[in-house]
């Protein structure tokens, strides 16, 4: 047993050992419980950092067998990066919960579940075979159910915990079926052996006339959709906010993000399933747009953060759909750190808001709440030129760098980079447009700072795509295969970009003229705007449709129960 094996075992099973030891501490001794759990969590994070540094120095994947068909562990770039992210956010959550959960019942039970959840997530990212991966994948859903329903006296918490549990069980079924198909076709549970055999014989087996790799990739994608709250399986995520705040923060360390992980773990399968990657892109795009819209219409801060997570998960799937697998992992980690911080600080923000009699009258408040017209504004045509042209120039320069070999090669690689940079252009242009509408004393300085930030972000993207991608996927062949699988015909690509560009520009123009009409005319909203607001406020009626289907199923079950008595 090598030092790498011991360190990997320590990372995975230290939290589980902490949960076992905590069960022997008297439940009334909260200080001892917190010290034990937090100390082990800090040790786990330290081991994860050391393991990542060691792997960075000696980048050689290693597979550790338990001597059985399952129970193996796999040390590779994906595991080393994810372990540090999960252990780090878990450590912060452990520290935060020391005081947050002090007045709650079940203090020891909470820390036991928290340790078990951390250990199970770490086991999932380190799993070296299909069975171990399935056990951890299923265990996360079970533990999340108990964590979300930690407050036994809150019926909404119990209801939405079960809702999440049910959705997760639906997401487990495709992954179980994919495991059965892979084992039956290739005769092994070991992930390294499985990927080698798939690379050697990608189209050797078929299911109902379809290539086995395509069917398995589709099943894995469906499982990822349920776990990462993709449309239409997203309704559980915004309502999990009934659970404790530390649980909401931990969800972004490796639970909601698990869809991006599972797609990266099975990257050797997706290189042979380009059509599935296109489906992932489409679903991710719909989810990103829907989540972003619903986030802006919430009056509950935690629910707004939940829909924000839904939108970010959609962007993560868009990145996977265009072949930027490593960028999706970077997005996963950055979002986990960012959103975890927001959740942990949400309670403090609510408390500060309740202490104040009003909101400070800054520029944003004056514009949004009081609806005062701006006294200093750039000429409309000049502002429109800056809004559209400047981000487009940044996009063009970045694409030239990408095409020059800085962040990939070939037409396929340029397609994925261009689509992602296109979203960066849309976001930057939208921000500049919103800044134009705000009252600002020095609009040129404000826009210049935004453009500078956009340049930094895009430049950072190209560097990350280059360096992080080389670390995650050192084999240049598989990077090229992912790009080719995610590519679409050139005509379709340019038509898609053109249509989206026109749609965004027309939308900005309509928004501007609507604002101008509101300033100079009637403020009564049109029937179309009222219908749109009703649609958004009802969350696109997705939850209502599910409730209607549930009622129909209950009625059908009652009828079948009555009929069965006559058989």
Q: Residue 54: which of 80, 23, 74, 93 has the closest Cα?
A: 80
Mean pLDDT, residues 226-254: 80
H/E segment holding residue 327: helix 325-355
Mean pLDDT over each residue of the chain, to the nearest integer:
78
Indicate if the pLDDT at residue 14 is higher than 80.
yes
CB of 420 closer than 8 Å to CB of 327: yes
Q: Quick check: 428 and 454 in contact, CB under 8 A?
A: yes
Q: What angle do CA 283, 289, 290 make, to 5 degrees?
A: 85
Could you give the C-alpha distances from 550 to 203, 269, 543, 546, in angstroms and in order? 40, 35, 10, 6
Q: How many residues does the chain have?
A: 567
Residue % of the chain over a pLDDT of 90: 15
Average pLDDT on 481-487 reads 79
Strands (E), 176-289: 206-207, 210-211
The secondary structure of 235-260, three-state, reads: CCCHHHHHCCHHHHHHHHHHCCCHHH
Degrees to nearest 5, angle at CA 211 with 205 and 215: 110
Give the three-class secondary structure for 14. helix
pLDDT of residue 180: 93
What is the predicted pLDDT for the residue at 406?
42
What are the φ and ψ backbone dihedral angles of 526, each rounded to 5 degrees?
Answer: -75, 160
Q: What Cα–Cα distance (Å) separates residue 273 from each residue in 205, 276, 311, 483, 495?
A: 14, 5, 25, 12, 23
Of 152 and 36, the structure prediction assigns the larger pLDDT to: 36
Token pair, residue 340, equals: 């975890």
* pLDDT at site 490: 73
Stronger pLDDT, 241 or 445, i.e. the higher one: 241
Q: What share of the chain in percent tops pLDDT 70?
A: 74
Question: What is the structure's pLDDT at 229?
Answer: 85
Q: Which pTM does this prediction carry? A: 0.82
Q: What is the average per-residue pLDDT within 417-426?
A: 62
Q: How far apart are CA 59 and CA 62, in angstroms?
A: 10
For 115, left (φ over 0), alpha (ψ -120 to 50), or beta? alpha
Could you give the angle at the alpha carbon of 512 between the alpha carbons of 508 and 515, nearest 5°? 140
CA nearest neighbour of 178 among 209, 137, 210, 223:
223
Mean pLDDT of 428-436: 58
Q: How confident is the model at residue 462 (pLDDT cuts 50, 70, 90)?
A: low
Backbone angles phi and psi of 66, in degrees to 5: -90, -5
Q: How many other CB atoms sit within 10 Å of the CB of residue 518?
A: 13
Cα separation, 219 vs 214, in Å, equals 9
**Where are the alpha helices (H) located in 372-442, listed in sequence order?**
380-403, 410-437
Is the per-residue pLDDT at 396 higher than 80?
no
- Give SS3 for 490: helix
DSSP 524: P
Exposed, middle or buried: residue 331 (CB in 10 Å: 0-12, 13-18, 19+)?
buried
pLDDT at 453 over 80: no
pLDDT tier, 407 (very low <50, low <70, confident <90, very high otherwise): very low
pLDDT of amino acid 368: 46
Q: At what angle do helices 155-186 and 212-227 cross, to 10 degrees?
A: 170
* Residue-level pLDDT at 410: 45
Once rounded to an integer, what is the mean pLDDT over residues 278-284?
90
Q: What is the distance between the alpha carbons of residues 329 and 63, in angstroms, rounded to a whole number?
A: 21
pLDDT at 408: 44
Half-sphere exposure of residue 316: CA atoms within 13 angstroms, side-chain side? 33
Which is more confident, 226 or 407? 226
Q: Kindly write down the DSSP assignment for every residue of 484-504, as one continuous string.
A: HHH---HHHHHHHHHHHHHHH
What's the rounded mean pLDDT across residues 291-313? 80
State the average pLDDT over residues 319-334.
84
CA-closest candidate to residue 185, choices 166, 167, 202, 171: 202
**C-alpha closest to that of 73 among 65, 83, 81:** 65
Answer yes or no: are the C-beta atoms of 32 and 41 closer than 8 Å. Answer: no
pLDDT digits (tens, 9 = 90+) for 344-391: 776 666 666 656 655 555 554 454 444 444 445 555 555 556 656 665
Query: What is the rounded average pLDDT of the residues 53-75?
Result: 84
Q: Which of 15-29, 178-192, 409-423, 499-513 has the lowest mean pLDDT?
A: 409-423
pLDDT at 350: 62
Which positions ≥6 away from 42 have C-beta within 8 Å?
A: 91
Res 123: pLDDT:
93
**Residue 127: strand pairing partners:** 73
In whole angstroms, what is the distance from residue 426 CA to residue 437 CA?
Answer: 17
Alpha carbons 8 and 29: distance in angstroms, whole number = 31
pLDDT for residue 308 is more than 70: yes
DSSP H or E segment with residue 63 = strand 62-64
pLDDT (tens digit per residue) in 496-526 = 777 777 776 676 666 666 655 555 455 566 6
96-111 residue pLDDT tens: 888 888 777 888 888 9
Q: Work out the pLDDT band at 39, boundaries 50, 70, 90.
A: very high
Rounded average pLDDT over 58-73: 83
Q: Which phi and psi (to 5°) does residue 15 adopt?
A: -60, -35
The pLDDT of residue 404 is: 47
Q: What is the mean pLDDT of residues 390-407?
A: 56
Confidence of residue 411 (pLDDT cuts 50, 70, 90): very low
Peptide bond into 232 cis (omega under 30): yes
DSSP secondary structure code for residue 526 in this structure: P
Can you read off the two tokens belonging to residue 216? Answer: 């398995």
Q: Looking at residue 273, what DSSP letter applies?
A: -
Cis peptide before 417 (omega within 30 of 0): no
Residue 486 has pLDDT above 90, yes or no: no
């Amino acid at each position: 047993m090598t030092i790498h094996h011991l360190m990997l075992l320590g990372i995975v099973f230290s939290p589980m050992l902490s949960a076992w030891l905590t069960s022997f501490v008297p439940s009334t001794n909260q200080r001892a419980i917190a010290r034990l759990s937090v100390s082990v969590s800090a040790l786990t994070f330290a081991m994860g950092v050391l393991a990542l540094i060691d792997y960075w120095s000696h980048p050689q994947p290693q597979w550790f067998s338990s001597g059985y068909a399952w129970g193996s562990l796999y040390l590779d770039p994906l595991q080393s990066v994810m372990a540090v992210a999960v252990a780090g956010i878990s450590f912060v959550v452990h520290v935060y919960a020391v005081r947050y959960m002090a007045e709650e019942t079940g203090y020891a039970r909470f820390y036991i579940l928290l340790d078990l959840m951390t250990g199970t997530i770490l086991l999932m990212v380190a799993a070296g075979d299909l069975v171990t991966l399935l056990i951890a994948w299923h265990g996360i859903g079970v533990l999340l159910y108990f964590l979300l329903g930690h407050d036994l006296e809150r019926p909404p918490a119990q209801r939405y915990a079960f809702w999440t549990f049910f959705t997760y069980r639906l997401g487990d079924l495709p992954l179980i079926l994919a495991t059965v198909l892979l084992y039956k076709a290739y005769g092994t549970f070991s992930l390294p052996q499985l990927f080698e055999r798939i690379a050697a014989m990608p189209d050797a087996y078929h299911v109902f006339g379809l290539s086995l790799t395509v069917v398995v990739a589709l099943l894995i994608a469906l499982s990822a959709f349920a776990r990462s709250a993709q449309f239409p399986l997203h309704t559980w995520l915004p309502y999990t906010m009934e659970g404790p705040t530390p649980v909401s923060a931990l969800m972004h360390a490796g639970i909601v993000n698990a869809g991006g992980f599972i797609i990266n773990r099975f990257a050797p399968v997706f290189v042979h399933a380009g059509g599935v990657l296109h489906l992932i892109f489409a679903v991710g795009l719909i989810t990103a747009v829907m989540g972003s819209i619903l986030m802006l219409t919430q009056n509950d801060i935690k629910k707004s953060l939940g829909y924000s997570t839904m939108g970010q998960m959609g962007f993560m799937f868009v990145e996977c759909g265009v072949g930027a697998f490593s960028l999706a992992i970077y997005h996963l980690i950055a979002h986990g750190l960012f959103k975890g911080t927001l959740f942990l600080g949400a309670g403090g923000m609510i408390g500060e808001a309740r202490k104040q009699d009003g909101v400070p009258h800054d520029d944003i408040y004056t514009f949004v709440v009081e609806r005062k017209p701006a006294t200093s504004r750039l000429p409309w045509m000049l502002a429109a030129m800056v809004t559209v042209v400047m981000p487009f120039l940044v996009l063009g320069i970045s694409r030239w760098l990408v095409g020059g070999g800085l962040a990939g090669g070939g037409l396929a690689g340029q397609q994925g980079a261009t689509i992602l940079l296109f979203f960066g252009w849309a976001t930057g242009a939208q921000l500049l447009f919103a800044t134009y509408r705000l009252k600002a004393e020095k609009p040129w300085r404000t826009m210049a700072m935004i453009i500078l930030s956009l340049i930094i972000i895009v430049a950072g993207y190209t560097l990350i795509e280059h360096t992080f991608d080389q670390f995650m996927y050192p084999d240049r062949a598989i990077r090229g295969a992912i790009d080719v699988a995610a590519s679409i015909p050139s005509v379709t690509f340019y038509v898609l970009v053109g249509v989206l560009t026109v749609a965004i520009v027309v939308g900005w123009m309509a928004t501007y003229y609507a604002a101008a009409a509101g300033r100079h005319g009637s403020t009564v909203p049109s029937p179309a705007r009222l219908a749109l607001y009703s649609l958004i406020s009802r969350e696109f009626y997705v939850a209502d449709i599910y409730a209607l289907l549930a009622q129909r199923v209950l009625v059908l079950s009652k009828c079948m129960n009555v009929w069965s008595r006559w058989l």
